[in-house]
Every structure is written in structure tokens, then in C-alpha cells.
Amino acid sequence: MPDTYKNKMIQTETLQAQLYLDCFNKRIRVDEFSGSVNDLFDALRSELSAFQYEKLIIYSRPNQWEELVEAGFQLEAIFSGFFNGIDNFAMCKYVLNERKNKGNWVSEDDLLEKVRSKPIKSLAEKKEVHQIKVVSDKEADQLASFYQGIFESYPVPIHDPDYILKSLKSGNSFYVIKKNDAILCAASADINQTYHHAEITDCATSVHFRNHGLMKQLIPYIENDLKKRNIYYLYSLARAGSFGMNQAFYQLHYDYKGRMGANCIMFGDYENLNVWVKNQKNN
């Protein structure tokens, strides 16, 4: 079996493309490309012949996405400002009907409507929180143990301290809310310095402290830290069936921009993920 996760760069006279090969979630994601679309498709077909991937995702710019529609791809979400202020159109194509038909789309639509029907509350109304901090290398074991107690399965090995250390060394950051040195809530920022964007991800709250609004206090802390580092364009993917996480992003003035179908494995099965984006460059 190929590596579980692998980045692959394709560079020829007619094509430049950055591929993310994800065998665990059986998907290929093209993070960026320029040049011949037909050559890109040839490269994807070659990868499909080597492993049973079930979903193709191509991140595309405004001048690229329509050509992908003509080739049978569908627009699932728009990541606003993804390429240094230029929108990313997430174009998708499924290899298996079973993968495409996953999820409860109608009930997830209903949940989204309920989220957006709630009045947005001022952050000033929130109670004082406990310690909020950036995670250090020394806390990797503790954080991995916390995640292991939350997620039965996850798209990346978040329960592995070595994975967390590797992520920290690559320039990403993890953040936690603590009480008496115990982690109550955690999230991370997957940072792209080239395009000044970050994904707020790995969001989790201890089962004993849910419905306390902790995530709505942690995320603004992350936003402020990222803004100091000139990271302006933020996005997050929330499980479409999770009222709490979708409500948190809506209440924090993120905009809903689509749903990535059967995108990755969480809690034992493929999940649909709602895309939320925020531009804090001019705020």
C-alpha cells in the first residue's frame, strides 16, 4: 500500500501541479495547478490506476473552474481569499456512487437553517475563561491524549504526539483552553505563509465542558494570533451534522460557502463538511 499521506509535485513543460495523495480517506486533492488541464487529468488517471481513490478534489482559480465543469467536475465550495485574496473554487468528482451518496443532505440543510436563524450574540456577553495558550512541544503528549479521548477516528493521526510535534515544527500552531493544567478545549491553525491563509481545524471540546461556549472564546484568540503573523484569510470545515461547531463559526461572523461531500473519515465513517470562511485583513 502507498504511503498513507503524501505530497507529490508534478513539473513538466506543460503542467505544474501540487498533489496531496490521501490513502486513508481515499481522495486526491490538487492544491494548485497551472498549465494543461488534459495533462492534469492524465496524471490523476495514473494515480487512480495505482490505488483505489474514491474522490478527486481540485482547488482552482477563477479562470480555471469552468473548464473543470466541462470535464464533469462539480463545484462544492468556495474558499474566499485562499490564494492571497483570490478565491479558490473547490471542484470535485467522485469515482464511486457509494461515496457520492453518503451523508444526510436534507437534515444537514435543516441544521444549517437553524444555525443561521439564531441571533448573533456579542462576545462581550461571554464569561471569563480559564487559561488560553499556544501549545508548546512539551505539551504534545498531553494534547495527543486529549484528542484520543475525543475522536474515535480522524482524517489525520491527531492522537500521535509525533504528528503534533511534526506539525508544530512545520510552522503550524495548536491552541488550548486549560483549567488546573487539564485541557478543556483545543484547536489548531494549519498555516500557509505563501498565500497568507490558515485553516482552523482539529477543534475539540471535552465532553464535560460542551455547551459552555469555549470554542467561541478560543477561536478569536487564534484569529488575533494569526493576524499578528499576517495571516488574513481563514477557513474551517465543520461536520455538517454538528450544530455546535457550525453555530460557533456563524456566531463568530464566518460566512458559509458550501459543503464538501463525504470528504473524510470522522467517528468511523465519511462526513460531509460545511465550509466557513472569514476575511480579517480589513478588520
pLDDT tens sequence across 62-88: 999 999 999 999 999 999 999 999 999
Which of residues 100, 134, 161 is at a domain's end? 100
Among 39, 8, 37, 36, CA closest to 21: 8
Average pLDDT, the chain: 95
Query: Which CATH number covers residue 28?
Result: 3.40.630.30
pLDDT band of 171, cuts 50, 70, 90: very high
Which of residues 100, 123, 150 is at a domain's end? 100
pLDDT band of 153, cuts 50, 70, 90: confident
228, 273, 211, 145: CA torsion to nearest 10:
-70
pTM above 0.85, yes or no: yes
- Please indicate, yes or no, whether residues 86 and 110 belong to a single structural domain of this protein: no
**Chain centroid to CA 277:** 11
- Please indicate, yes or no, whether residues 117 and 223 belong to a single structural domain of this protein: yes
- Please indicate, yes or no, whether residues 144 and 221 belong to a single structural domain of this protein: yes
In the chain, the number of structural domains is 2
Contacts of 3 (CB under 8 A, 6+ apart): 21, 23
- Please indicate, yes or no, whether residues 95 and 128 belong to a single structural domain of this protein: no
Would you say residue 282 has pLDDT above 90? Answer: no
- Please indicate, yes or no, whether residues 171 and 80 belong to a single structural domain of this protein: no
Residue whose C-alpha cell reads 484569510 in the numeric block: 233
Is there a contact between 187 and 174 (Cβ–Cβ < 8 Å)?
Answer: yes
- Please indicate, yes or no, whether residues 12 and 132 belong to a single structural domain of this protein: no
**Amino acid 172: pLDDT:** 97
Would you say residue 129 has pLDDT above 70? Answer: no
Which of residues 100, 135, 159 is at a domain's end? 100
- Please indicate, yes or no, whether residues 141 and 246 belong to a single structural domain of this protein: yes
- Please indicate, yes or no, whether residues 144 and 269 belong to a single structural domain of this protein: yes
- Please indicate, yes or no, whether residues 21 and 94 belong to a single structural domain of this protein: yes
- Please indicate, yes or no, whether residues 20 and 117 belong to a single structural domain of this protein: no
Report the pLDDT averaged over residues 183-211.
96
Contacts of 93 (CB under 8 A, 6+ apart): 55, 56, 72, 73, 74
Is there a contact between 181 and 139 (Cβ–Cβ < 8 Å)?
Answer: no
**Amino acid 121: pLDDT:** 86
pLDDT tens sequence across 255-273: 999 999 999 999 889 999 9
What is the extent of the structural domain holding 218? 105-279
- Please indicate, yes or no, whether residues 178 and 255 belong to a single structural domain of this protein: yes
pLDDT band of 128, cuts 50, 70, 90: low
Report the pLDDT averaged over residues 167-191.
97
